[in-house]
Amino acid sequence: MNDKKLRKSSVDCKLSGVCGGIAEYFDMDSTIVRLLWCLFTLAGGSGIIAYIVAAIIMPDAYEG
C-alpha cells in the first residue's frame, strides 16, 4: 500500500514549501509546478490566495 500524503517540502522550498510538496506528491519537477502556479496567478489573481491557504492548511514535511 502506498502511504503518500500531501505535505509541504522541507528540502525543496522557496517560500514555504507548497510547490515543492505538490511536486513531490505528483513526482514531477518543482520548477514546472512553480511556473504553472505563476501562470495561474497571472491569469486570474486567485493563485496568491490559493498559495496562502495551501501554506496554512498543508502540514509540514516529516523530518525523519
Q: Which of 45, 43, 44, 41 is nearest to 19 (CA)?
A: 41
pLDDT digits (tens, 9 = 90+) for 18-50: 999 999 999 999 999 999 999 988 988 788 888
pLDDT of res. 44: 81
- pLDDT over threshold 70, residue 63: no
| Residue 1 pLDDT > 60 | no
d(C-alpha 46, C-alpha 34), whole Å = 15
The structure's pTM equals 0.82
In the block, which residue shows the cell 514549501? Answer: 17
DSSP letter for each residue of 9-63: -SSS-SSSSHHHHHHHHHTS-HHHHHHHHHHHHHHHSHHHHHHHHHHHHSPPPP-
Q: Which three cell numbers stand for residue 60?
A: 509540514
Query: Residue 33: its pLDDT value, please?
Result: 93
